[in-house]
Amino acid sequence: MKKVLIFLCLLAFPLNVLAYSNEVILGGNTIGIDIKSTGVMIIGFYKVNGKYPTTDLIEGDLIIKVGDNAINDINDLTSAIEKNIINNKVNITYLRGNKEKQTTLELSNIDGIYKTGLYVKDSITGIGTLTFIDPETNTYGALGHEILESNTSKMIEVNKGTIFRNSISNIDISTDGNPGSKNAKFYYRDIYGDVLKNTKYGIYGIYENLYDESKLIEIGNKDDVGIGKAKIYTVIEDEKVEEFEIYITKINENSDIKNITFEITDKKLLEATGGIVQGMSGSPIVQNGKLIGAVTHVITDNVKTGYGLFITTMLEESEK
């Protein structure tokens, strides 16, 4: 059966000198994530007077200006449209990928209210798992993969964001073909740090809260990863980080993100989750006392198995 992923100078210095620390604080903590996008993202269209808007805009485009007014959120968009309407039209500046474009959007006036025909979003909120904190820089890494807008599958460009405290309340069990998810109580005001960037190897920022300095763990490089037993650290109840057994079945140094293939073997974790669930992304993978990677994806036709990303990839990304 086809495997589907749901949703990582010529001086005499040693060759393995790294910009990041040789030891980091081990994660495993569940975190809430709130990201405000750059501009306002178009996630769909609706009919006005029986027809969709005639426009060059497509799903995933980011509206960054209306007229000369910068757009950071939906309130900005609404206000700017009201200020810049000429003959039921407004001039839109938007981003498609890295290219800035312009177009004119025609509006419909329905009972004194202007309708755009656009569904838009300016933020995304979810949960994930903290992978590490570098105690020398207070830089953290989490998730091991990018955050995508669910309707468009487009990566969110970060304008600003935070990670914050949450507590796992219950878990929707994973079954083959239907991955489950962690469900959490959010504590939005209990902020752990900011989100500076969202990349295909995870989210990164500065950790601003207290952390347990006794949780230092050595970094393992690619050569330290081997077929055999390992552990992941994650939360399945409240805020308690626990370790669970897995078995690494394959190592792929040539893959960009699917470096470690593993199977969950821990009975307690399987009883609680059925396998890998959404919200587990970023859970640290430890083998022989070293942090070697992070959980990133579930294989949907066998939810007891999944992929992990080398921790060195995440650490290198955190330094960029």
Q: What is the set of active-site residues?
A: 145, 266, 281
Surface-to-core class of residue 204, CB atoms within 10 Å of its CB (0-12 exposed, 13-18 middle, 19+ buried): buried
Whether the CB-CB separation of 162 and 191 falls below 8 Å is answered with yes
For residue 150, the tally of other CB atoms under 10 A from its CB is: 12
Separation between Cα atoms, residue 272 and residue 23, nearest integer Å: 31
How far is the CA of 114 from the CAs of 57, 106, 264, in angstroms?
18, 10, 53
Whether the CB-CB separation of 200 and 146 falls below 8 Å is answered with yes
- From the list 124, 66, 55, the residue with the least C-alpha distance to 94 is 66
Separation between Cα atoms, residue 296 and residue 294, nearest integer Å: 6
Amino acid in position 192: Y
Q: Which residue is associated with the tokens 């809430």?
A: 32
Separation between Cα atoms, residue 171 and residue 282, nearest integer Å: 17
